């Protein structure tokens, strides 16, 4: 084979490999508009469904389909809100703490306790996958929810978060923005609220403990739910373009999780700023939404992290064979320095949920425990 021909063959093989991994090279306009995201998300869904060959407990018949909030029928969205309110009435499972009053609160205690190990570490994606799934399980088993579990595609609201079907304050939302307060009290420049949620679901919800700066963060500290919706942050860091490019520009798990979190230890991840993870959190902001430790006490946390998990699902399924690995150490930003995480490590979230090894959490259609896909 002549040199040129060899070179060409090599280049073509490279191109088709890339093609397999990420679909095709998309025109920038399709990346910006969300068309590319629709395509790769469909490819990922097909790839995951193709694994349901009847060999596990998870089948084409019983697989759950998670959906974007605004694509869920109105009655089902109301049922979801009801189920979350019901979880706020179920007993807390932690002892010797005065703040937490409900099962919903118990999720906040769990997150507070593991925060230094499950962010900017090897465990970030798989911990949060189990965490959100366990929340969904509680809604179903304790509160009878039977609908689809909703995620939030932030990029659809980059034109105005206040108008978002999640935050417009209607009965099919998760409640309104916070009341407008004096600019110096808002969370970030560009925030349009800052005060207590004024109407809609969760306007009367009491945040029972936190913030993480309190002397005793788990002590009873009742207060209103505050939001400071921020369209600027959403448009800059959590747009459809950011979501799509984060998936397409991440060849391995180390870079994917760095790009997603804006982990500045990776030079390539620095351009993402807050990145989609921080971007989504700070689009809501407020208290406890903007609190690194207690953000799960903000009900919309689960839709935000649903979307993070959806991105992980899409990314994995675009090259499933090669994307069942873990990277990084077991402490946040490797401080203090620690060993690498492995898929054989055990994740025990008792008394809120169960005990698994991380390998079991890789496949959302693996059947033990997961059986869900993202539409
Ligand atoms: Cu977290
Ligand atoms: Cu988070």
pLDDT tens, 250-304? 999 999 999 999 999 999 999 999 999 999 999 999 999 999 999 999 999 999 9
| CA of residue 223 to ligand 2 center, whole Å | 22
Instruction: Please compute the mean of the pLDDT values over residues 7-28 and round it to a whole number.
Output: 51
The tally of domains found in the chain comes to: 1
| CA of residue 43 to ligand 1 center, whole Å | 28
Q: What is the pLDDT of residues 61-120, one digit of tens each?
A: 999 999 999 999 999 999 999 999 999 999 999 999 999 999 999 999 999 999 999 999
| CA of residue 292 to ligand 1 center, whole Å | 7
Backbone angles phi, psi at 319, to 5 degrees: -155, 60
pLDDT band at 1 (very low <50, low <70, confident <90, very high): very low
| CA of residue 67 to ligand 1 center, whole Å | 21
| CA of residue 300 to ligand 2 center, whole Å | 11
The full length of the chain comes to 375
pLDDT at 206 over 50: yes
- Please state the pTM of the whole predicted model: 0.93
Specify the pLDDT at position 179.
97
Report CA dihedral (272, 131, 115, 306) to the nearest 10 degrees.
Answer: 20
Backbone angles phi, psi at 197, to 5 degrees: -55, 130
| CA of residue 281 to ligand 2 center, whole Å | 7
Residue 166: CB atoms within 10 Å: 25
- CA–CA distance, 44 with 298 (Å, rounded to integer): 29
Specify the pLDDT at position 7.
38
Beta strands in the chain (DSSP E): 64-68, 150-151, 178-180, 194-197, 206-207, 223-224, 346-348, 355-357, 372-374
Q: Is 75 helix (H, G, I), strand (E, B) or coil?
A: helix
> 126 has which bridge partners?
none
160: domain range? 2-374
CB-count burial class (<10 Å; 0-12, 13-18, 19+) for 163:
exposed
| CATH number of 225's domain | 1.10.1280.10
Q: What is the pLDDT of residues 120-171, one digit of tens each?
A: 999 999 999 999 999 999 999 999 999 999 999 999 999 999 999 999 999 9
| CA of residue 282 to ligand 2 center, whole Å | 10
Mean pLDDT of the chain: 93
CA distances 266 to 117, 128, 254, 256, 328, Å, are 19, 22, 9, 10, 12
């Amino acid at each position: 084979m002549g040199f040129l021909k060899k070179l060409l063959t090599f280049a073509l093989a490279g191109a088709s490999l890339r093609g397999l991994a990420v679909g095709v090279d998309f025109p920038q306009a399709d990346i910006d508009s969300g068309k590319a995201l629709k395509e790769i998300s469909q490819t990922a869904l097909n790839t995951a469904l193709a694994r349901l060959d009847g060999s596990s407990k998870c089948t084409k018949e019983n697989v759950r389909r998670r959906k974007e909030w605004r694509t869920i029928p109105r009655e089902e969205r109301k049922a979801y809100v009801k189920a979350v309110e019901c979880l706020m009435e179920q007993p807390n499972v932690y002892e010797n703490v005065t703040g937490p009053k409900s099962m919903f609160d118990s999720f906040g205690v769990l997150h507070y306790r593991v925060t230094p190990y499950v962010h900017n570490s090897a465990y970030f994606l798989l911990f949060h996958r189990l965490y959100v799934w366990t929340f969904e399980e509680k809604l179903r088993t304790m509160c009878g929810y039977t609908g689809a579990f909703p995620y939030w595609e932030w990029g659809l609201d980059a034109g105005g978060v206040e108008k978002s079907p999640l935050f417009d304050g209607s009965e099919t939302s998760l409640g309104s923005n916070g009341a407008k307060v004096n600019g110096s009290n808002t969370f970030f420049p560009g925030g349009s609220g800052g005060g207590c949620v004024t109407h809609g679901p969760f306007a009367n919800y009491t945040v029972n403990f936190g913030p993480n700066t309190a002397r005793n963060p788990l002590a009873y500290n009742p207060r209103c739910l505050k939001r400071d919706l921020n369209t600027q942050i959403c448009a800059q860091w959590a747009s459809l373009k950011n979501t799509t490019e984060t998936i397409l520009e991440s060849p391995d798990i180390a870079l994917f999780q760095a790009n997603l979190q804006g982990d500045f230890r990776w030079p390539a991840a620095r351009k993402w700023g807050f990145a989609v993870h921080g971007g989504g959190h700070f689009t809501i902001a407020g208290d406890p939404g903007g609190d690194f430790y207690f953000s799960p006490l903000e009900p919309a946390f689960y839709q935000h992290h649903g979307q993070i998990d959806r991105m992980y699902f899409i990314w994995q399924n675009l090259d499933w064979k090669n994307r069942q690995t873990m990277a990084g150490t077991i402490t946040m930003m490797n401080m203090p320095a620690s060993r690498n995480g492995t898929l054989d490590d055990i994740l025990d979230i008792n008394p809120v949920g169960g005990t698994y090894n991380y390998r079991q959490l890789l496949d959302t259609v693996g059947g033990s425990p997961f059986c869900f896909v993202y539409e």
